[in-house]
């Protein structure tokens, strides 16, 4: 998905959190552009990144707010962004 489409949608829908995933290193460039545009046009939106080729170092380099090594790390970060308390499933 083109970075402009992601950013335009985030603005139109007032999105607070976006997750981006990279399965190949070639997609990291697009992720970086998406984050750059978000910072310019909707700086209050948080970005979590993950995927097969993503690392904390990549996440830091492209300006992501969070690196999630797996789906549960993404959920924990989203809970913090949205202010949810952890719920005991028992």
24-66 pLDDT, tens digit per residue, is 888 889 999 999 999 999 999 999 999 999 999 999 999 999 9
> Contact at 8 Å (CB) between 32 and 63?
yes
Cα separation of 78 and 30, whole Å?
22
pTM of the model: 0.88
Give the domains, in start order, of the chain with CATH numbers: 3-82 (3.40.50.280)
* Residue 84 pLDDT class (50, 70, 90 cuts): confident
SS3 67: strand
Using alpha carbons, select from 41, 36, 54, 33 the residue that is nearest to residue 15. 41
């Amino acid at each position: 998905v083109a970075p402009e489409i992601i950013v335009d949608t985030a603005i139109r829908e007032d999105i607070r959190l976006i997750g981006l995933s990279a399965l190949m290193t070639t997609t990291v460039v697009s992720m970086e552009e998406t984050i750059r545009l978000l910072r310019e046009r909707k700086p209050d939106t948080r970005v979590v990144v993950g995927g097969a080729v993503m690392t904390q170092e990549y996440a830091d380099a492209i300006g992501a707010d969070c690196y999630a090594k797996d789906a549960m790390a993404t959920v924990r970060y989203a809970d913090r962004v949205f202010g949810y308390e952890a719920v005991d499933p028992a």
